[in-house]
Structure formats: structure tokens, C-alpha cells
Amino acid sequence: DSGVTQTPKHLITATGQRVTLRCSPRSGDLSVYWYQQSLDQGLQFLIQYYNGEERAKGNILERFSAQQFPDLHSELNLSSLELGDSALYFCASSVALGLENDEQFFGPGTRLTVL
Amino acid sequence: LAKTTQPISMDSYEGQEVNITCSHNNIATNDYITWYQQFPSQGPRFIIQGYKTKVTNEVASLFIPADRKSSTLSLPRVSLSDTAVYYCLVGDIFMGRRALTFGSGTRLQVQP
């Protein structure tokens, strides 16, 4: 158990819909990262927040957005969903600014299925 | 963008030593090299990290040559439970800031 929690574990929805994925980082971790992993693919970095502020943005679509709240939990919002958005979405957290030397602890993921 | 190159897959047998090499020709001076392990439908898990020469912990060793353009993850005496995908990471640039990027990884299959 990494200490990072994600809800829900599974999500099934239809095209065009909007969903929100939730992540609670490890106690004391200030950085939260979001990743997308499609079937048999590597992890695609989406976005990173540090202490409530956006720090780095990767391959995140404009239909997707995220935020980190004062209690440090984070939400990833996916809208106008398409079939290709079906994937595992992982949240990770780390202690510090998220420099590349910082060990990331991953949650169990949310499996999103778009029908 | 800094990128890593790893073999797509490797096969081994229980009890053997496995070495997975990663190429990172554009590694920056202040980049560390980090390896993660991922089991199916689970989040990746940190294995080991190093900057230069050799690093060893309870599960693996990491060998980094002087030019740091490659690194080798060594798993001693693998077991069936080591079957997983292994990712080599170095820094990358997003929004002008460095962050980690995962490549496609190396899928290790350990046979009995």
C-alpha cells in the first residue's frame, strides 16, 4: 500500500459525458501527478501540481483539467469523453517540488471505460 | 526532449540474473536515473535511483558508466514474481520545468 488513494476504482460512462477522478496523496506529500495509461501502453504524464499550483503540464488534452485543493487532494476532470479516453488513470504523489530526483508513490488507479 | 530507449521485452528463467539496459544519450548534467517496476493493473513502484557509478539496494543494482549515456538495471536471481514491466526514467522538460517521463518500458517475462 503506497498511501495514495484514488476513487473510484472503476468508472463506466458514455461518450460525451464528463467524469471526475479523485486522488488523495500520501500524508505530507505536496506534489500530485496524473498519468494516463492506455491498454498495453506506457504511462503518459498529464499534469503535476505542487501545493495547489500547477507546476508542469504534459500530454494533457484541452478537454481534461485538474486542480489541487487546499487539503492537497486532487481531482482530474475529463469532459466530452471519447472512446479513446478509455484507460487507467494513475495519480502519484511525492514529498517535494517534484524534481526528477523525487520518488513518486503511485495509487491503485482508476479504470475508465467509455462506451 | 530527453528520451530513453529500452528493449521492448526480455525473457529469463527463475534463478538467473537479468540485466536491462537503458539508453539516455541526452541526459542532463543534473539528471538522476530512476527505475520503476509495474505489475499489470497496478501503479508503478520505485526500484532504484542513481547518478553515477554503481548503486545497490535490497532488490537491485544500477550500473551507470562514466559518460552516463546509458544505465543497466541488474536483478539478481529473478523469480516468477519479477515478471513485470520495468521503466527507466530521466528528466524531461514540461512547461519549461523538468519532470519525469515514462517510456514504453521493458516487459520482463520470467519462466519457471
CA-wise closest residue to A91 among A46, A21, A35: A35
- Per-residue pLDDT of A56-103, as tens digits, reads 888 789 999 999 999 999 999 999 999 999 999 999 999 876 555 678
What is the percentage of chain B residues whose pLDDT exceeds 70? 88
Interchain CB contact of B43 with A (< 8 Å):
yes
pLDDT level of residue B3 (50, 70, 90 thresholds): confident
List Cα–Cα distances, B42 to A81, A102, B4, B16, B37, in angstroms: 23, 20, 22, 25, 10
* Cα angle value A72/B31/A1 (rounded, 5°): 40
Judged by DSSP in three states, B105 sits in coil
**Does residue B80 surpass a pLDDT of 60?**
yes
- CB-nearest partner of B102 from A43, A103, A111: A43
**What residues of A are in contact with residue B107 (Cβ under 8 Å)?**
none
**Does residue B87 surpass a pLDDT of 70?**
yes
Interchain CB contact of A90 with B (< 8 Å):
yes
Select from A31, A39, A43, A55 the residue whose CB has the most chain B CBs within 10 Å, as the one to mutate to test that interface: A43
Quote the mean pLDDT of chain B. Answer: 88
**Does residue A33 surpass a pLDDT of 70?**
yes
Interchain CB contact of A43 with B (< 8 Å):
yes
* Cα angle value A75/B101/B108 (rounded, 5°): 110
- CB-nearest partner of B94 from A2, A56, A109: A56
Q: Which single residue is written with the C-alpha cell 528493449?
A: B7
Judged by DSSP in three states, A83 sits in helix
B65 burial level (CB within 10 Å; 0-12, 13-18, 19+):
exposed
